[in-house]
Copies of this chain bind each other. A is one copy, B any other.
């Protein structure tokens, strides 16, 4: 009988923000899989590191950093083939995913490739969005407010329109897009409503009003913006 593929969210960064289910699966894993980006260390693996059994086999998918989509898809093809071999051999495979597997997670590439042929189970994880709100001490949405989650790479006009029409906003993947995002938010008169958070829940975390944000933001950074549309107090 074939093994089961588990897409396991390991949460936003602090190892103890993993779920009990994720921890149990990782501790019992014979085969662990995860993607790395252009040869860099895996953040997901670093979160789970203390729980990975000494003898576990590791399937690493190294995803090249290119604008062209084909090389990344080829890396997932190759990874999916290795994972399929392990599943066919009867092993369960635990695939580690930062945050949540289906929330901007690369696990969806494996899910799409393997879901029809094998049993695939997804273990949801704490996302960076609620982790950032927790660390910022900043409620996200109450009552009948709407939450819009936007990726920082969006173009300026689209960002402006979406932010203007939204209530509570989380902007993910800030990184090199910070100057553009600052300009749009300032132009909409919303700077005083915006908080910048970087590497939430990790020891090196930064939480500051957007005005005090550093000039350079890493990929793992976010802007939370709430307009207080619903006066919930």
Contact = CB atoms under 8 A, between A and B. Distances in A.
A96 to B, nearest CB: 15
B124 A130 contact: yes
Contacts of A122: 133-135, 137
A145 B151 contact: yes
B148 A146 contact: yes
B137 A115 contact: yes
A23 B24 CA distance: 14
A20 B16 contact: yes
A126 interface: yes
A165 B165 CA distance: 10
Given A115-B137, A149-B147, A130 B108 contact: no
A139 interface: yes
Given A124-B134, A134-B123, A142-B104, A11 B17 contact: no
A213 interface: no
B14 A17 contact: no
A75 interface: no
A125 interface: yes
B149 A153 contact: no
Interface string A72-111: 0100000000000000000000000000111111001101
A162 interface: yes
B16 A18 contact: no
Contacts of A21: 14, 16-17
A131 interface: yes
Nearest to A14: B21
Contact of A108 (B16, B144, B232): B232
Interface string A127-167: 10011011101111111111111110110000000100100
A18 B111 CA distance: 24
Contact of A141 (B14, B104, B112, B141): B104
A139 B18 CA distance: 20
Nearest to A17: B19
A134 B21 CA distance: 13
